[in-house]
Amino acid sequence: MKEGDRASIWWPVVETKTNATAGRGVVRPGHEVHIMTLSDGGSASVEVVVVGGGPAGLTAAVALAGAGVPTALVAAQSGVRDNRTTALFSSSVAALEAIGAWEACRADAAPLKTLRIVDDTGRLWRAPEVRFDAAEIGLETFGWNIENRSLVAALEARAQALPSLQRLTADAAAVEIGEDGVTIRLADGSAVTARLAVGADGRRSICRDAAGIDTQTWRYPQTALTFNLKHSRPHYDISTEFHSTKGPFTLVPLRGLRSSLVCVTAPEEATRLLQLDPAERNAELERRSHSILGRIEAEPGHGAFPLAVKNTRRMAANRVALIGEAAHVIPPIGAQGLNLGLRDAATIAELAVKARRDGADAGSGEVLKSYDRLRRIDVAARTAAVDLLNRSLLTDFLPVQGIRGVGLYLLERIGPLRRALMREGVDPVAARPRLMRGEALA
Ligand SMILES: Cc1cc2nc3c(=O)[nH]c(=O)nc-3n(C[C@H](O)[C@H](O)[C@H](O)COP(=O)(O)OP(=O)(O)OC[C@H]3O[C@@H](n4cnc5c(N)ncnc54)[C@H](O)[C@@H]3O)c2cc1C
């Protein structure tokens, strides 16, 4: 690693985006809430509007409408081309079960019974292999791995089955915030007004800009490549993470003789891998996987994601609550991103349902403050852990490599420590909204 590279790892490029006033959206104090019937070019009024139909937004919309909160979802028809998969921990699965979306996922999801971390750095300070077994904490599985397109299709089907959920199938063009409500305007001139807007519109969120919420971004010298693989040997429900000096190479079981792969590596190496012809690439992936899955054949299609962290200073303000990647982007290491996003969705849904039951305003400053307080620690802790793990791999600074090795050694040797970490991973103590405990909101 060159000297300059090390500097960019320890003092990363930081971009700060300040939205002290409004960004792309429009803040218009004192704006009135309109009560109208929705039609093309017309307006509607609901209690909560969810902007964005990714997995986080769909989960929030289904949870809210399913619990009787008048809700609108502003989301273009999905037609997902995402080839990624998501490892969902059991608390996320409990939430999807509670909102009636898991049944349709079950046949496509593969259980994750064992997680292995293997040091493939070839360095002097090599950590021992650490193995986490769900059975060790009395669970059948840590969670399930599912293709994003199956997850989104199941949530879409559930959303369509809820007559109380109004669907506006277009992107939001503008977000106008007033004292009593927030109005989402679509390109065709129609609009929906609500007490609370749930911004689930991904990393370039216009809801976040309109609410004046600042972001801070730092980038890593890494790209995550995603492939889905067919292989000749069974995976035995084991996910294996090979830690290399460029980042983790993670194999996660899918149904049958299939697995998903997230290969985090240097950008130039990612480009090289993508330029290889399929047979050469398969051979290279098999070599990197130490042939534990036998012969490998990558299915057509791949993803490439530059690695970054994007933080928000607040998760909610000015009648907008951010969820999922609108609120936080973290590297795909340790399967944290959407599990956090689903906890956001479950938390804001619970607060909005309670506000409605109490006859209170779902978008009030009080509700938004509670949401920010309930989500901040969980998001900050997971972001810091993923960041630290990633940096400890990238660094060529011997003491840090040593600390990482000792940490993994202790995890391997000390059962109670390992079990505490497993329990926290599956069911975080600081973030237990009702849906994550499998309890319905209605
Ligand atoms: C390689 C990789 C592997 C990952 N693996 C895992 C894993 O195993 N486990 C895990 O928990 N997480 C994982 N993640 C993270 C996870 O994929 C993300 O957290 C998740 O996809 C984010 O979902 P979201 O709904 O917040 O955002 P998105 O999926 O980005 O959805 C946002 C939606 O909003 C829409 N939108 C944008 N602007 C507007 C607008 N103006 N109006 C209306 N709609 C709009 C977009 O079209 C999109 O549909 C991984 C990420 C990567 C990159």
d(CA 313, CA 215): 6
Residue 223 has pLDDT above 90, yes or no: yes
Residue 83 has pLDDT above 60, yes or no: yes
Distance from Cα 324 to the centre of ligand 1, integer Å: 7
Hey, which bits of 268-381 come out as E strands?
296-298, 303-312, 316-317, 320-322, 328-329
Which residues, including other chains, have CB under 8 Å from residue 129's CB and lie 6 or more apart? 116, 117, 118, 119, 412
Query: What string of H, E and C letters represents the secondary structure of 161-174?
Result: CCCCEEEECCCEEE
pLDDT level of residue 78 (50, 70, 90 thresholds): low
Cα→Cα distances 62→59, 161, 166, 239, Å? 5, 9, 11, 30
Hey, which bits of 294-423 come out as E strands?
296-298, 303-312, 316-317, 320-322, 328-329
What is 43-58 written as a DSSP string? EEE-SEEEE--SHHHH
**Contact criterion met (CB below 8 Å) for 150 and 295:** no
State the average pLDDT over residues 203-230. 95
pLDDT level of residue 349 (50, 70, 90 thresholds): very high
Counting ligand 1 atoms within 8 A of each CB, the residue from 50, 86, 207 with the most, and so the one to mutate, is 86
Ligand 1 pocket, residues with Cβ under 6 angstroms: 51-57, 74-75, 84, 86-87, 171-172, 200-202, 206, 224, 226, 262, 303, 305, 324-325, 332, 335-339, 341
Residue 154 has pLDDT above 70, yes or no: yes
Q: In this predicted structure, which of 17-21, 268-272, 331-335, 404-408 has the lowest mean pLDDT?
A: 17-21
Residue 16 has pLDDT above 80, yes or no: no
Lookup result for tokens 């769900």: 134
Predicted pLDDT of residue 305: 94
Counting ligand 1 atoms within 8 A of each CB, the residue from 81, 145, 167, 338 with the most, and so the one to mutate, is 338
State the average pLDDT over residues 81-96. 92
Distance from Cα 341 to the centre of ligand 1, integer Å: 9
Model confidence pLDDT, tens digit, residues 162-200:
988 999 999 999 999 999 999 999 988 899 999 999 999
Collapsing DSSP to helix, strand or coil, 15 comes out as strand
pLDDT level of residue 336 (50, 70, 90 thresholds): confident
The dihedral formed by the CA atoms of 148, 149, 153 and 155, expressed in degrees to the nearest 10: 10
Could you please state the CATH topology (level 3) that the domain comprising 3-437 is classified under: FAD/NAD(P)-binding domain (3.50.50)
Question: Of all residues in the chain, what percent carry a pLDDT higher than 90?
Answer: 67
Residue 18 has pLDDT above 50, yes or no: yes
Nearest CA to ligand 1 atom 52: 332
Q: How many residues does the chain have?
A: 442
Is the sign of the CA dihedral 405, 406, 407, 408 positive or negative?
positive
Model confidence pLDDT, tens digit, residues 276-316:
999 999 999 999 999 999 999 999 999 999 999 999 999 99
**Contact criterion met (CB below 8 Å) for 73 and 165:** yes
Residue 409 has pLDDT above 80, yes or no: no
